[in-house]
A = this chain, B = another copy of it.
Amino acid sequence: MRQEQTEPSEKSISGGIDYPVPAREQRRALGNMVFATEKLLLTKMLRAIGNPPVQLVLWNGHEISNHQDNPVARILIRDRGALFKLVIDPELYFGELYSAQRIEVQGNLLDFLEAVYRVWLLRNRGKIGKKQLAPFYDARRNTLTGARRNIHHHYDIGNDFYKLWLDERMLYTCAYFPSPGTSLEDAQLAKLDHVCRKLRLQPGEKVVEAGCGWGALALHMAEHYGVKVTAYNISGEQVAFARQRAHAEGLDGQVEFIEDDYRNVRGEFDAFVSVGMLEHVGTDHYRELGEVIDRSLKDSGRGLIHSIGLNYPRPMDAWTERNIFPGACPPSLAQMMQIFEPFDFSVLDVENLRLHYAKTLEHWLQRYEDNVDRVTEMFDPAFVRAWRLYLAGSLTAFKMGGMQLFQVTFARAGNNHIPWTRQYLYEPQDTSLGESDGKL
């Protein structure tokens, strides 16, 4: 079959003259022909993703460059199967092939990702149709059991793994850097206080936290703001860790960690807070979340939701959703409003901390690389590479403007005990809350 297919090309290569071709030359010519096909496919693929300035190198040493003088990286494609997958769906398969070492990035991974992302952004500008703005279904249903399975996939990898590259408090959400040079430890502490101050917590108040991670915010609120916290989480490993911590810090009387879904929150509270859970809720459950908040908050209640977001609705990239974050679905601001609008909540303040997440990821990636030997002892090489790509890819997305971080502060419509201005958030002391006190 192959022989037959190549014959006409052989002829054209040899100028159409019909004379016997020596076996070695025939093989070379065949190789050239196959390469021509591969080159065509890859050139098409590069064009489809917007022609980032890269050089592709095949397993046999053949090189394909899209005529750009300074490629940011050389991409080694190690086998023909990898090539075909890449051609079929680069966005989906790049991560898989990179993890499996069937693709190598020679050069700076971040520079490469940034170059790809830049052309992707340019290519998409002005192409956001009404179809894309329509609500889309979530990739994996975050039902009560579905959510538990999805969360287990990501957060129960092992606390020891996360300890290798998170800050000492184990905060796996965007930090708040008062200035870009702040350390990660200080920036995570600043984030905790930024959230608490936005919530204007008062000693003795009751707070419910939905999705509490390893418990750092709950413990911080209890210790430094004197509130009673009920914190929900469906990751068993995280809850076990958080409980230990509360006990060790003598805060178990003030903080209760409950291994359960946010939908099962019971009780009445002064404040509702959720940092980094909404990404896992799924837009089709936002009304349910709004109902939970509505039935949990006192009339004087207020709340804060901190979440990764998007400028416009679109599904998470397929590789991350499949391999790293099953069920994840960051919302646009309009989508987030589906939590608040049906229940007449007033949005008081939205702060976009996009560049703070890029900075946070810069720290995480650095610590990850610093500890990559330990990671390699703990997991197989594909895992090590997948997580490198995930951290580097996320950093790129936040840096280039493809992902956002929204902190949304809200209160009930008629609550006039709201800050008169946001000045108090930027004053050194916590004391002057500048409340309007309900009087005008």
Residues of A within 8 A of B (CB): 118, 121, 124-126, 128, 130, 133, 176-180, 294, 311-313, 332-334, 337-338, 340-352, 354-355, 358-359, 362, 399-402, 404, 412-416, 418, 420-423, 425-427, 436, 439-440
Contacts and interface: CB of A to CB of B under 8 A. Distances in A.
Contact of A128 (B128, B343, B402): B343
A247 to B, nearest CB: 36
Given A333-B337, A341-B332, A359-B440, A311 B180 contact: no
Contacts of A427: 426
Oligomeric state, in copies: 2
Contacts of A133: 341-342
A312 B440 contact: no
B342 A332 contact: no
A317 B425 CA distance: 36
Contact of A355 (B176, B340, B358, B436): B436
A401 B420 contact: no
Interface centre among A124, A333, A399, A418 (most CB of B within 10 A): A333
Interface centre among A126, A176, A177, A401 (most CB of B within 10 A): A401
A interface, over-half SS: mixed
A399 B351 CA distance: 24
A332 B343 contact: no
Contacts of A342: 128, 130, 133, 312
Contacts of A311: 340-341, 344-347, 413
Nearest to A412: B401
B423 A178 contact: yes
A2 to B, nearest CB: 47
Contacts of A402: 413
Contacts of A340: 311, 333
A420 B313 contact: no
Contacts of A294: 126
Contacts of A334: 333-334, 337-338, 341
Nearest to A334: B337
A312 to B, nearest CB: 4
A422 B407 CA distance: 13
A342 B121 CA distance: 14
A272 to B, nearest CB: 17
Contacts of A421: 176, 178, 426
Contact of A347 (B130, B333, B341, B420): B333
A414 B440 contact: no
A337 B332 contact: yes
A401 B423 contact: no
Nearest to A359: B440
Interface centre among A125, A344, A345, A422 (most CB of B within 10 A): A344
Nearest to A411: B401
A433 to B, nearest CB: 13
Interface centre among A118, A332, A414, A421 (most CB of B within 10 A): A421
Contacts of A362: 440
A311 B341 CA distance: 6
Given A338-B334, A401-B414, A413-B311, A125 B344 contact: yes
Given A312-B342, A334-B334, A349-B352, 15 more contacts: A125-B344, A126-B343, A128-B342, A176-B421, A178-B421, A179-B420, A180-B420, A311-B344, A311-B346, A333-B337, A346-B354, A355-B416, A355-B436, A401-B416, A421-B426
